[in-house]
Each structure stands twice: as structure tokens, then as C-alpha cells.
Amino acid sequence: MDKIAMLERLQTHLDEVKAAHPTPRFEANKEWVSQICSLLGIPKEGAEMCAQILTHKPPTNLVWLHMAECTGCSESLLRLDKPGLESLIFECISIEYHETIMGAVGFGAKKSLHDGLKKDFILVIEGGVSLGENAYFLTSGAESITGEMECKEAAEQAQAIFAIGTCSSFGGVQAAYPNPTHAKGISSLLKQRVINIPGCPPSETNIIGSLMYYILLKTLPPCDELNRPLWSYGKNLHDLCERRARFEAGDFAQSFDDERLQDGYCLYKVGCKGPYVSNNCPKVKFNAKTSWPVRAGHGCIACSEPDFWDSFGHIEEPLNNANAYITTPKTFKTLPFIHDMNDDLSTETLCLELDTHLPTRIYKTEGENLLHCSFSAHLPILLQNLRGRNKLGARLVENYEQWRKMQPHIESVDSINHAQAEISHNMSDILKLIGEMFGERKPCALDTLKAAQSYLFAHVSKLDI
């Protein structure tokens, strides 16, 4: 929605609200309203209308269900600050049902749920769900209702549905291999549209911001292909990171006791998965904006991405072809590829198979091995070229040489016999090389290069390039 459409929508909503509720109920906290507006991309001119909508509108009813999870998402929400959750509860949101923070217990609790479902309400579901013949893995209350039934019943009447947390969005920890309870994200059982707010847990800002988007604009936020709101998940985490300049310069902390870790060196080599993540953690942070994982000194573990337990390798090692263990070949979007091998190939879907025991291979859909992916570079010449290229190149070579000196089993660069070469199985190196090989002759090489760079598990080169 562009800015003009947003302002028009706010005006229509405000008119409706004022017609039904002419008297304001309280004084809105203007500073907080402007902060929310700037986060959500609502233009400055809309802040006053937002404040009025909140003060005239009766509190929005919220039903929050717990499924299979650890309650970290609720804990995250409770860290909300300025205003705290308690003032939001009194002013903007009426929590009709939330097992962690409500007073009711037993049959009384279930009665609150059924009373809540009779009103107009927004539904929030935290946690994954087991389905069908496995649904009994998750039963709730004295009536032993399965989580599947409870979610479906609540979703029937909900005005909007939010999956809060990676568990609810994509299955999360209990769906990790071997997934003994056959847990899934809630969109696999609901026919209604679900907005995903992943993160294990998501920040309090991403939770409350998405609810406020609906409360203020009375519509669901624009989302990406995984149904995550663009305002919060539309950018690459690595691009927002405070250590990003260090990454570009090749300044990597080499271990957790490396003193330079505290000087802001990049955490890629100790396992940070930030480059593969769409989330705004560096911007909004956690615990009342105190900090976020990378600032605290640990790499991002991609907790808001689907299948992060299974697909992102070891938590404290960089992702590489050896530790990314997708067990079945994964289909990626169609890649424009090397036309002069066979023109028909341009329409084929290519699969990349990553496996610990096999060299990385690029497949056509049928499984025919298209290219055997490894290449050798003449290291001294490669480094010499890079050093002479520009300041950044020289810095990268310097970093690499320092790293090399610390590896007792590797000979120094100068002593390498010219006949020797370093072999890389790194997909980024290989695809880039393919792009360059075809670059002079074929216009499609640029596309190949782009595809290489957007490849799901593109890693920085093993030479820190």
C-alpha cells in the first residue's frame, strides 16, 4: 500500500470509529504512536489519525492460544516497554484468553475462551500443532480437546489470524528432525489466511507492531512469499547488522575467545547465519531494545527461518557444503542458465543437492548431473591479482595471510609450488567462476551470476573473498 492509500484507509477507518464511538476514552501516548507509525511505514501525517483511532475505538479483543512451544513468544511480548503491556491491555487491547497471564483456571478458563470466541476478536496462535491421527500429541484442558480442533474452532470466527513464533509459523523446534509428534505450522491446518511472525522468539516489537498494523489500518500487512510482513521481515538481517562493515573488510573473529570479537569483528566464521536471514533484529532488538544476539557476541542462528534446526548446519560453524544437510534435493526457483550447453535448458528447474558425503552437484530436475562442481585457483596469482586491485582487496589478502600463518599445517603462500592449486567446493566460488567463464561470450552470464549470488546457501569464499 502506498502512502496516499494508507492515509485514505486511516481516514475511512477513523470516520467509522468516530461515528460509532464519538467520545475519546483516554489520552494516547503520542511518542509511542509516532514510533509505531515510523516502524510500520505509516507517513508522519497519519500519526494524529492513528492516535485518534486508538482513543475512540474500544479495545480490540485478543484470543491467544498456546500449542506446542516453550512460551518464549509470550515472554518476549511481556518485555514490551514504553508503553508496557499493562497499559496496552487497559487502553488498546483486551486480552480475552491467554493461558500464561490470565487468572482463570480449569473449566473457568475454557469458559473464558468460549466467551471470547463469541465476540469480534483477533486470533494469535503460539506453537506448532500435530495433525490427524497424531493430533492427540497435543491435547488441551479437562475436555481433552486436541490442539488441531481448538485452532480450527477459534479460526472460524477470527477477524485476523497471526502465527506468533517460528513454531506456529513453520513448525519450529518440535518439527525438527525426526519430528516425533509430526508437528507443523498452523497454516498447514487452517484454510484461512495466516500472517507469520517467526522468530524463536520474535521480538516484542514485531509481535505488537503486526497486531497494531491490523488494529490501525483494519487490513493485513503486505507480506513476502512466506507470509511474513514486509515492514519487519522485508530486509536481510546481515544488511542491517552493525558488524557489516567488518564483514566487507574481511575482519572476522576467528573464535569466541578472539579479543577482536568485542571490537565489533564479524561473527561469520564463528557461525553467524545473518546473511541468510530476513529479519529486523539489529534495528528493533529485544528486551525493551536492550540488545540482540550478534551485539551480545553470538552469531545469528537463523531462528526465524523455516527448518532452521535442520537446514543451517552447525550453530557455531559457518554454513558450508559439508555441514548443510538438506537430505532431499531441494527445488529452487528456475535459474536462467548456460544457454550454449543446450538452449532448452533455460527453462529447466535446477536443483542443488548438498550432502556431507558427496561433492556438491548441480542437477537438472531429472537428476542428471549437469556439472561437477569444484574448481582450482592458482593461489599465489589469485592473491597477487586481488592485492593489486584496490585497498579492500589488499586488506583481504592481508587478513588471509595472517590467518594462514596461524595454520601450522599449511605452507606459507610464497612457498607454494606453482603447480599446486587450492580446490574449492564452495558454491559461491564455483558459480561465480561459471558466470565469469561465460561472461565474455554470453549475455546470460550476468543472470547466472545473479542467480549464484541469490543461491540459498551462498557462503563467502573460503578465502574470505
Is residue 46 involved in binding ligand FSX (CB under 6 A)?
no
Residue of the chain from 13, 184, 238, 361 that contacts ligand SF4 (CB under 6 A): 238
CA distances from 256 to 109, 249, 253, 264, 271 (A): 47, 19, 7, 12, 10
Alpha-carbon Rg of the chain, whole angstroms?
Answer: 26
User: Which of ligand SF4, ligand FSX, ligand F3S, none sits in contact with 279, Cβ below 5 to 8 A by type?
Assistant: ligand F3S
Which of 301, 316, 78 shows the shortest CA–CA distance to 203? 78
DSSP 71: S
Count of C-beta atoms within a 10 Å radius of residue 296? 9
User: Which of ligand F3S, ligand SF4, ligand FSX, none sits in contact with 172, Cβ below 5 to 8 A by type?
Assistant: ligand FSX
Rounded Cα gap, residues 254 and 40, in angstroms? 37
Any idea what the Cα angle at residue 311 is, between residues 233 and 430, rounded to 5°? Answer: 95
Is residue 261 involved in binding ligand SF4 (CB under 6 A)?
no
Residue of the chain from 54, 151, 167, 300 that contacts ligand F3S (CB under 6 A): 300
**b/e burial code for range 390-424 (CB count within 10 A of at least 16 → b):** eeebebbbebbeebeeeeeeeeebeebeeeebeeb
Which of 450, 12, 407, 59 shows the shortest CA–CA distance to 219? 12
Is residue 268 involved in binding ligand SF4 (CB under 6 A)?
yes
Residue whose CB is less far from ligand SF4, 56 or 238: 238
- Closest residue to ligand FSX using C-beta atoms: 72
Is residue 293 involved in binding ligand FSX (CB under 6 A)?
no
- Residues 226-285 close enough to bind ligand F3S by CB under 6 A: 277, 279, 281
Residue of the chain from 128, 201, 250, 274 that contacts ligand SF4 (CB under 6 A): 274
User: Which of ligand SF4, ligand F3S, ligand FSX, none sits in contact with 244, Cβ below 5 to 8 A by type?
Assistant: ligand SF4
User: Which of ligand FSX, ligand SF4, ligand F3S, none sits in contact with 271, Cβ below 5 to 8 A by type?
Assistant: none
Rounded Cα gap, residues 125 and 184, in angstroms? 13
Rounded Cα gap, residues 202 and 79, in angstroms? 12
Q: Which stretch binds ligand F3S (CB under 6 A): 63-71, 296-304, 415-423, 451-459?
A: 296-304
Interface mask (CB under 6 A) for ligand FSX, residues 75-114, using x and -? ----------------------------------------
Residue of the chain from 46, 116, 127, 313 that contacts ligand FSX (CB under 6 A): 127
Interface mask (CB under 6 A) for ligand F3S, residues 301-320, using x and -? xxxx----------------
Q: Which stretch binds ligand SF4 (CB under 6 A): 24-32, 82-90, 167-175, 241-249?
A: 241-249
Is residue 247 involved in binding ligand SF4 (CB under 6 A)?
yes
- Residues 171-230 close enough to bind ligand F3S by CB under 6 A: 199
Residue of the chain from 67, 241, 338, 463 that contacts ligand SF4 (CB under 6 A): 241
CA distances from 202 to 59, 64, 208, 245, 302 (A): 24, 15, 10, 26, 12
Pairing of β 330-331 and β 183-184: unpaired
Strand order in the sheet with 93-98: 93-98, 60-66, 122-126, 160-164, 195-197
Residue whose CB is less far from ligand SF4, 131 or 237: 237
CB 369, min distance to ligand F3S, A: 35
SS3 196: strand
Contact 428, 377 (CB under 8 A): no
Residue 412 CA to its chain's centroid (Å):
40
Contact 229, 197 (CB under 8 A): yes
Which of 337, 339, 241, 246 shows the shortest CA–CA distance to 296? 241
Residue whose CB is less far from ligand SF4, 266 or 445: 266
- At 167, which helix (H) or strand (E)? helix 166-170
CA distances from 357 to 245, 323, 327, 361, 445 (A): 35, 10, 11, 12, 30
Residue of the chain from 10, 37, 73, 266 that contacts ligand FSX (CB under 6 A): 73
Q: Which stretch binds ligand SF4 (CB under 6 A): 58-66, 236-244, 326-334, 373-381?
A: 236-244
Region at 25 (left for phi over 0; alpha for psi -120 to 50; beta for the rest) = alpha
Residue of the chain from 46, 116, 147, 165 that contacts ligand FSX (CB under 6 A): 165
Site residues for ligand FSX per CB under 6 A = 69-73, 126-127, 165-168, 172-173, 200-201
Residues that bind ligand SF4 (CB under 6 A): 237-238, 241, 243-244, 247, 266-268, 272, 274-275, 294, 299-300
Residues that bind ligand F3S (CB under 6 A): 199, 277, 279, 281, 292-294, 300-304
